[in-house]
Amino acid sequence: DSGVTQTPKHLITATGQRVTLRCSPRSGDLSVYWYQQSLDQGLQFLIQYYNGEERAKGNILERFSAQQFPDLHSELNLSSLELGDSALYFCASSAHPDGNSPLHFGNGTRLTVT
Amino acid sequence: GESVGLHLPTLSVQEGDNSIINCAYSNSASDYFIWYKQESGKGPQFIIDIRSNMDKRQGQRVTVLLNKTVKHLSLQIAATQPGDSAVYFCADPGSRDNYGQNFVFGPGTRLSVLP
């Protein structure tokens, strides 16, 4: 068990809808990352937060947004959903934001857009 | 540009044999590398990491080798077991700017352990 908790585990919704994915980092970790993993694709970096502040951004769509709250949990909001947004969304956390410590991943949220 | 990739998409080994999974990286400034294991239905699990001031690091049944000259690293699994069947990813911190970082992951190698 990595200590990173993601909810929900599964989400099925229709095109055009909006969903929120939630992540609680490992105890003591201040940095949170979101990754997208599509079928037969690798892990694509979306965004990183550290202690509530955005630190790095990947190829995250404008329809997607995230935030990290004072209690360090994070939410990823996906809006105007399209079929192509169907994927596994992983949250990871690390002790430091600078790439000198490993990421620890949750078990993901599987999003299906119909 | 920066990229981390794996040479082989699939690898099949006999139970009890040793496995070697390879990874090439393109950013010569990369100084930290991690191997992850992802089982079906689960998130990537940290296996072992290595910093660029080392050539080799050993864990329990796993060894990571780093060759900075050719920008290559490998993961060796000794006495491969059925439970080792998974997809293995290598990763490095990508475009680190001392403010934030985005770990870049290779496409992964699927390891299948044959009975």
Q: What is the pLDDT of residues A47-97, one digit of tens each?
A: 999 999 999 898 899 999 999 999 999 999 999 999 999 999 999 999 887
Q: Who among B49, B94, B100 is closest to A55 (CB)?
A: B100
Please tell me which residue, B27 or B6, carries the higher pLDDT value.
Answer: B27
pLDDT of residue B97: 60
Mean pLDDT of B78-102: 84
Q: Give yes or no for residue B5 having a pLDDT over 70.
A: no
Percent of chain A residues topping a pLDDT of 90? 83
CB spacing of A33 vs B102 below 8 angstroms: yes
- pLDDT tens-place string over residues A13-32: 999 999 999 999 999 999 99
pLDDT of residue B2: 38
Parallel/antiparallel/unpaired status of strands A10-13 and A109-113? parallel
B25 touches chain A (CB under 8 A): no
* pLDDT category of residue B71 using cuts at 50, 70 and 90: very high
Query: A30 CA to chain B: closest CA distance, Å?
Result: 12
CB spacing of A102 vs B46 below 8 angstroms: yes
Residues of chain A contacting residue B102, judged by C-beta atoms under 8 Å apart? 33, 45, 48, 56, 58
Residues B78, B59 contacting (CB under 8 angstroms): no
CB spacing of A42 vs B107 below 8 angstroms: yes
pLDDT of residue B100: 66
Q: Who among A45, A100, A105 is closest to B43 (CB)?
A: A105
- pLDDT tens-place string over residues B14-46: 999 999 999 998 888 888 999 999 999 899 999
Mean pLDDT of B93-101: 66
Sequence-ordered alpha helix ranges (H) in A1-114: none
Residues of chain B contacting residue A90, judged by C-beta atoms under 8 Å apart? 43-44
pLDDT of residue B95: 63
Mean pLDDT of chain B, nearest integer: 88
